[in-house]
Chains A and B, each alone.
Chain A
Amino acid sequence: MSEAPVREVMIQSEAEPLEPAAAPHPAADTILYMDGVTVSFDGFKALNNLSLYVKEGELRAIIGPNGAGKTTMMDVITGKTRPDSGEVFFDGGIDLTKLDEAAIANLGIGRKFQKPTVFESQSVFNNLELAQKGRRDVFTGLFARLSGEQRDHIGRVLERIALTDHVGRLAGNLSHGQKQWLEIGMLLMQDPELLLVDEPAAGMTDAETAKTAEMLQEIARDHSVVVVEHDMEFIKALNCHVTVLHEGSVLAEGSLESVQNNQHVIEVYLGR
């Protein structure tokens, strides 16, 4: 089955491309572009004029204390929360603020939750099968049969997430770390252009953390990845550009070292 035409159709029908302007829009050449995004819940500004962009193929880490707005940012990108104001563009010109979760997922944005969320009562294999890129409508689903190529794809992903030996087990019986990997595997099956990964190393052993960092770096070779994380060791292992969020806006940006030496960042992290 060819998937590429589906995506193109979606872009044309469900999203408005930007007007061709004389000067290139700042969102051009970016996979993710957020400008002046504000979200408030009952007067509390979870995101306050947040501006941020991620280039295509980039691996980006986002850190920040609790309540900095990291998860809300993910919610805005994936369509769960609508921003009060501001622009969110994907892939240079697709306005995400007008689409719902399923449409955004089908555009090519995958999301991994903070708490591992896999389909516990189904096998590892079926979890990956459900995530596999392809048509998502009911009618196709009734008659769907896996092709050999799709099986191979699942096999390759299983190897990448080190769960080949657990393919027939129910996802609910996996260890915490394995569930995290399975969820990363599900993202790989979706083959999104942009992966949003929320605290992948939470609750993992050191060995698992190292392996997860390795996995993400490998994924970042052919995908754009945004990782939200608390664990500094993990960020160090990722070896990438870091953005620090604080009270809903960007506090600092740069390499991990430069960010760690930034006076504002030190105040925010130690000043409480």
Chain B
Amino acid sequence: MILSNDRNHLLSPLGAKITLAVLLLVAVLVPLLNLSVPPGSAFHVPTYVVSLLGKYLCFAMLALSVDLIWGFCGILSLGHGAFFALGGYAMGMYLMRQIGDRGVYGNPILPDFMVFLNWKELPWYWYGFDAFPFALLMVLLVPGLLALVFGWFAFRSRVTGVYLSIITQAMTFALLLAFFRNDMGFGGNNGLTDFKDLLGFDLQDDGTRAALFVATAVMLVLAYLLCRWIIGSKVGRVLIAIRDAESRTRFLGYRVEYYKLFVFTVSAMLAGIAGALYVPQVGIINPSEFSPANSIEIVIWVAVGGRGYLHGAILGAILVNYAKTYLTGAAPDIWLFFLGGLFIAVTVLLPKGIVGSLDQLRGRLPGGFKPKAQAKVQEMPGE
């Protein structure tokens, strides 16, 4: 008799191997082709492409964080862009303080927008952001704490399903409005920009850009491995149990709210890291990152790639964003229609996303496992 404690069958080892191999290959190849191959060569990767790819990898990490909670615990967050933006703002604050007296107004302490607003002193919450380790800590802590507090109230009150999605939208919208205000001290409408350097390295330099790209790829690999480790552990099986039959899990003695809180907080911190890596590569962070539509777009990436596979989210984020780059360049009017159409097409034609559909084609789901059995949300009897 085989009594194996089988890992989650959705975490196919093949998918993981391909994902890791591709990411590591890209992490080596892209900077190499950018820095070592002369610009005239056909193999040269221009620096703007390096940053663009870096941006895609940040989005992939963001999608990964959403898949961790949505794909495996059924928490559909439509406000994950907020955690991404908060991580980004924490990094942006560090970069602002790095500018020092090289700003337009030449104030060694105050960022330009504060001088412009006639502020005399640095607000207390900007203290410490001149130190990189402190900024890194905040990149993790600010989104993590928000998720912890928000999740504590939401999960303890047993807010689930569409209601949770709606309040996450409200959360990101509230933050959007708050960050728009000049009085908040985060640059208002314009956000934080005009960054000069990071840890003393010029952000416009090809080498810095390549290094940021490598850092993003490495962080994505680590985040992916972390998610796989969580999902492969008993906690992962409990999360899936919560997704499929929440009350049943409760009656087995699991404190569902703590499990949700744990995974939600981890996910928010991953989103924060993604945001922190995003900001130096695009050179700006402003309140539009909080816009509710952004958060919905993340969910579309995950749905396109395939929910509940981890690598599906990575693939979906990169593909959709590539399409976005291409279409907004080639035919800017079409993009939103394309996005809407894509969501409908995926829902109708590929309900399990690209990776899920490939999985079905290969028929490697054990025991003739029907996707419906998994997608079905169980209703608990006994009202």
Contacts and interface: CB of A to CB of B under 8 A. Distances in A.
Interface of A: 71, 74-75, 78, 80, 101-102, 105-106, 110-111, 113-115, 117-123, 125-126, 129-131, 136-138, 141-144, 146, 151, 154-155, 164, 167-170, 172-173, 186, 190, 198
A118 B240 CA distance: 12
Nearest to A131: B252
Contact of A144 (B233, B253, B370): B233
Q: Which of A119, A168, A170 has the most CB of B within 10 A?
A: A119
B238 A198 contact: no
A141 B6 contact: no
A126 B233 CA distance: 11
A143 B4 CA distance: 17
A141 B238 contact: yes
Interface of B: 1-6, 8-9, 230, 233-235, 237-238, 240-241, 244-245, 247-256, 258-259, 262, 366-370, 373-374, 376, 378, 380-383
Nearest to B3: A151
A121 B240 contact: yes
A190 B378 CA distance: 22
B47 to A, nearest CB: 41
Contact of A119 (B1, B6, B248): B248
Given A122-B237, A125-B5, A130-B237, A173 B244 contact: no
Contacts of B245: 117-120
A133 to B, nearest CB: 8
Contacts of A118: 245, 248
Given A114-B382, A143-B233, A155 B244 contact: no
A198 B235 contact: no
Given A115-B381, A126-B237, 17 more contacts: A101-B251, A102-B256, A105-B251, A117-B248, A117-B378, A117-B380, A125-B3, A125-B4, A130-B237, A138-B259, A141-B238, A142-B234, A164-B1, A169-B366, A170-B367, A173-B370, A173-B373
A7 B329 CA distance: 64
B250 A114 contact: no
A27 B355 CA distance: 57
B238 A168 contact: no
Contacts of B374: 120-121, 172
Contacts of B4: 125, 168
Nearest to A189: B252
Contacts of B251: 78, 101, 105, 110-111
Q: Which of A106, A120, A155, A169 has the most CB of B within 10 A?
A: A120
Contact of A113 (B233, B368, B382): B382
Contacts of B244: 119-122
Closest 8 CB pairs of A and B: A105-B253, A172-B373, A141-B235, A144-B234, A121-B374, A141-B234, A106-B253, A115-B381
23 contacts: A111-B251, A113-B382, A114-B381, A114-B382, A117-B247, A118-B245, A118-B248, A119-B245, A120-B245, A121-B373, A125-B3, A126-B6, A130-B237, A130-B241, A130-B249, A136-B253, A142-B234, A164-B1, A167-B2, A169-B366, A172-B370, A173-B369, A198-B381
A110 B248 CA distance: 10
A186 B368 CA distance: 24
Contacts of A123: 6, 9
Contacts of A142: 230, 233-235
A248 to B, nearest CB: 15
Given A120-B376, A142-B233, A168 B252 contact: no
A92 to B, nearest CB: 21
Contacts of B254: 102, 136
Nearest to A117: B248
Contact of A167 (B3, B252, B369): B3
Contact of A138 (B1, B5, B9, B262): B262
A267 B294 CA distance: 64
Contacts of B248: 113, 117-119
Contacts of B238: 130, 141
Nearest to A164: B1
Q: Which of A125, A126, A164, A167 has the most CB of B within 10 A?
A: A126
A119 B240 contact: yes
B269 to A, nearest CB: 15
Contacts of B255: 102, 136-137
B1 A167 contact: yes
B212 to A, nearest CB: 31
Contacts of A75: 382
Contacts of A111: 251
A89 to B, nearest CB: 19
B262 A101 contact: no
Nearest to B371: A121
Nearest to B308: A121
A159 to B, nearest CB: 9
Nearest to B382: A71
A142 B236 CA distance: 8
A138 B4 CA distance: 22
B227 to A, nearest CB: 13
Contacts of A173: 367-370, 373
A117 to B, nearest CB: 5
A269 to B, nearest CB: 23
A126 B369 contact: no
